[in-house]
Amino acid sequence: MQLLLDLHPDAYPLGGYRRKQLLEWVFVHGVGEFSAMSNLPAGVRAELEAEYALNPFKLVETFRSADGSVKYLFTLPDNRQMEAVYMPYLDRKTICVSTMVGCPAKCAFCATGALGFGRNLTAGEVVGQILAVARGEGLSPRDLRNLVFMGMGEPLLNYDATILAARILLHQDALGMSKRRVTLSTVGLPKGIRKLALEDDLGIKLAISLHAPDEETRQRIIPTGHANSILEIMASAREYQQVTGRRVTFEYAMLRGVNDSVWQAELLADLLRGLVSHVNLIPMNPWEGSGFEESTEQEMQAFYDALEARGVEVSVRRSRGRDAGAACGQLALKQPNAVQAVAGA
């Protein structure tokens, strides 16, 4: 049975105003069952039920934080698990979604890396996270206006499904999101970054998880980093900017005594010279067994000041939902089924 959410909105079944009704039920009202689509004839609903699945998840669990953020743990029909995070702010509602079960990048400080790689998600399984979170929060899916592909997985290694999911999010008959409010985060895959630059009509934002300005440190914390040098990554970022004209964000997890020295901030500033960019410093969200500690406020401030003094646009992105295990992979890592499913892949 085909997952309806895997289809581009232009390819949805039914014709004319019936198709419009179907799209409204899915993306405006966010219903999880065809039987709830009350203005569709019973026969049409029965046909849809016979041909399509609407809900990609077998089980949805929520873990709420005192700061208002909510971690969602999804169990798929094959019993694999992945996560999304809902983060409400005063001026916006943001969701961070996964593109894979587990992740092959194996970043040493990331709980998802400890899971290993399970499988790619389909576009519908990515989009389904947004719809499920909206239902869980009592919202219309269109109330979620900011989205980051920054959960479990490397989006550029699941390129086709990620791009299709992005096109569904942006489509006016689906979620109608603004291009400026959708961000794709990558560990830094030059081939994928260059390919993304050629998606002329997509226009979403790019964030590169650099995490270190020197090869020795980067390969220590990102074991797969040896496949693409920092210079190759930076070259692809410059080409991306030349083609698209868009600013590039660099994500930088602050790990005490590993990548938070002032000399590393100075080297990072040198790498960014001439590039229109923004650096997000991210305090590490500690998890048991990681072997890393978050930088102190003093160390982070010194790093911040060194970047700012060299003309780098920089900010600190505070972690949300620490008490709910909101860092990528933390919940799934605690679930025996998830670990076994990924390890056995």
State the sign of the Cα–Cα–Cα–Cα dihedral 258, 262, 263, 266: positive
Q: Is 96 a catalytic residue?
A: no
Q: Give me the catalytic one of 103, 107, 110, 328.
A: 328
Active-site entry in 83, 154, 251, 294: 83
Sign of CA dihedral 155, 188, 281, 177: negative
Where residue 138 falls (left for φ over 0; alpha for ψ -120 to 50; beta otherwise) is left
DSSP string computed for 74-97 = EE-TTS-EEEEEEEE-SS-EEEEE
DSSP code for 218: H
CB-CB contact of 205 with 246 (8 Å): yes
3-state secondary structure of 60: strand
CB 69 within 8 A of CB 84: no
Active site includes 83? yes
Q: Residue 218: how many CA atoms within 13 Å on its side-chain side?
A: 24
Please list the residues that pair with 156 across neighbouring strands: none
Q: Would you list the DSSP string of 309-344?
A: HTT--EEE-----GGGT-STTHHHHT-HHHHHHHHT
Residue with tokens 């923004």: 278
3-state secondary structure of 101: strand
Which active-site residues does the annotation give?
A: 83, 328
